[in-house]
């Protein structure tokens, strides 16, 4: 790979320096001498020494040898240097976001759809529809963390399409949807403008979800890679499209659209147990190998997208792919498909079609039970460290040293004191 390639080796390094004059300048001069592109630098109080500092730097190198030279150069000026993540570097943990703002790097990294449509898409040969899609995806491309989600003024034709989908699906929710979806949906109608004559704005729905579980919505141009999409869940962030399917076929879509996102996904993100379950998958994906990402994405497919659960002796749907598809919602609860207990080890290797109804579904006993099973599954993967999400700083903490684990344990101890105090007053 040459320095002019469009796909440089993205790498995160962490190094520690003592508080002395010129220490940081020496490190930056070393990086500059290696002719790599430094894209970000952040400083933090050291986790291991009282008066030292930890620096995190993101850089774009031309190859693995250049990264290694940077590490060797920094070792002359620092107490410790670690490669925290690198895409494509042999024997290295894949790069993953550590701060909420790191998700901004996903803004235009879409695999398919968005403004580009496949030839068999219902709107592929409709220039008006394609232009409209481009207008909406352009807003998602420039969105950055902390901004208000762009408002979309949906047209009468788009609202009519939404209304058709809305009316058909809500006929089935009371008999086919899980109790959590049934409980939240009326709240969305009351607080977020859900109705057959109005397409809710992502900003309003995102604020509602944040109040409920801390989950937020982020607009996206189209389909992200499984790694990027799952990584965002670790921060309780759900990437959502804003465009709607083509009006010629309102009950069909070959891709996620605003109907799928707001009718299928959004209601469940307001449930604490479901939110915890989704974040567990996200945390497991951080720094995971490509093979483990594939397995986690398959688990996500058979749960968050096409999951069934057992409630009061009956089987109900909670997967967004089911709750946003009139035909498959009915089919999934019939006696036609195979239904198996949710077991991450087996679910993660199950083959599945993407253009037709699923021949096999997996049944979760509860969202909490599913979360525990995913946590146990993740503990057996190849990742050499554990992570936790710090809600105060909206960042990921890598638990790879004794000092970090001890600090985490102290946090748990403080929480236990609070719990003990509460129990004593009851």
Q: For the residues of 381-397, what is the DSSP string, one character each?
A: SS-SSEEEEETTTTEEE
Question: What sign does the dihedral 365-366-372-375 (CA atoms) show?
Answer: positive
Strands (E), 62-144: 80-86, 110-112
260 is in an annotated binding site: yes
Q: How far apart are CA 223 and CA 257, in angstroms?
A: 10
Residue 235: CB atoms within 10 Å: 27
Q: Answer whether 81's CB lies under 8 Å from 14's CB.
A: yes
DSSP conformational letter for 311: E
- Residue 294 has which token pair? 């594939």
Backbone angles phi, psi at 339, to 5 degrees: -125, 125
CB-CB contact of 115 with 130 (8 Å)? yes
CB-facing half-sphere around the CA of 261: CA atoms within 13 A: 25
Per-residue tokens: 177: 């949807």
Enzyme catalytic residues: 260, 265, 305, 324
* Contact predicate 10/58, CB 8 Å: yes
265 is annotated as contributing to ligand binding:
yes
Give me the sign of the Cα torsion angle 265, 268, 272, 276. Answer: negative
Q: How far is residue 80's CA from residue 384's CA, in Å, rounded to a whole number?
A: 18
Please state the φ and ψ torsions of residue 132, each to the nearest 5 degrees. -65, -45
> Could you give the CA distance from residue 340 to residue 302 in angstroms, rounded to a whole number?
11
* N- to C-terminal Cα separation, the chain: 65
CA 7 to chain centre: 23
Annotated binding site for Fe cation: 260, 265, 305
- The annotation places the binding site at 260, 265, 305
């Amino acid at each position: 790979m040459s320095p002019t390639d469009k796909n440089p080796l993205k790498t995160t390094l962490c190094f520690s320096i003592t508080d002395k004059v010129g220490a940081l300048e020496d490190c930056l001069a070393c990086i500059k001498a290696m002719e790599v592109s430094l894209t970000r630098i952040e400083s933090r109080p050291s986790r291991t020494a009282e008066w030292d500092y930890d620096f995190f730097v993101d850089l774009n190198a031309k190859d693995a040898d250049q990264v290694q030279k940077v590490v060797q150069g920094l070792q002359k000026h620092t107490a410790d240097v670690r490669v925290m993540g690198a895409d494509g570097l042999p024997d290295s943990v894949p790069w993953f976001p550590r701060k909420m703002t790191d998700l901004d790097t996903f803004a235009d990294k879409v695999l398919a759809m968005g403004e580009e449509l496949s030839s068999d898409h219902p709107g592929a040969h409709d220039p008006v529809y394609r232009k409209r899609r481009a207008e909406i995806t352009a807003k998602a491309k420039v969105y950055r963390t902390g901004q208000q989600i762009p408002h979309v003024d949906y047209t009468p034709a788009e609202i009519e399409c939404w209304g058709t989908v809305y009316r058909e699906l809500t006929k089935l929710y009371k008999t086919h949807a899980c109790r959590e979806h049934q409980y939240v949906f009326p709240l969305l109608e009351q607080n977020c403008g859900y109705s057959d004559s109005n397409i809710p704005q992502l900003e309003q729905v995102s604020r509602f979800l944040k109040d409920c579980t801390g989950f937020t919505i982020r607009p996206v141009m189209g389909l992200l890679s499984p790694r990027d999409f799952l990584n965002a869940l670790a921060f309780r962030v759900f990437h959502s499209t804003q465009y709607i399917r083509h009006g010629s076929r309102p009950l069909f879509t070959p891709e996620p659209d605003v109907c799928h996102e707001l009718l299928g996904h959004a209601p469940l993100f307001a449930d604490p147990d479901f939110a915890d379950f989704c974040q567990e998958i996200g945390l497991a994906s951080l720094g995971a190998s490509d093979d483990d990402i594939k397995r986690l994405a398959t688990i996500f497919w058979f749960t968050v997208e096409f999951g069934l659960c057992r409630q009061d002796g009956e089987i109900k749907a909670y997967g967004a792919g089911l709750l946003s598809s009139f035909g498959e919602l009915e089919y999934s609860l019939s006696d036609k498909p195979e239904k198996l207990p949710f077991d991450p080890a087996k679910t993660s290797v199950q083959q599945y079609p993407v253009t037709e109804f699923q021949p096999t579904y997996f049944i979760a006993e509860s969202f909490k039970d599913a979360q525990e099973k995913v946590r146990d599954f993740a503990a057996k993967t190849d990742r050499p460290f554990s992570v936790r999400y710090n809600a105060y700083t909206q960042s990921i903490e890598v638990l790879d040293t004794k000092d970090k684990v001890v600090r985490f344990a102290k946090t748990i101890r403080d929480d236990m004191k609070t719990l003990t105090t509460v129990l004593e007053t009851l």
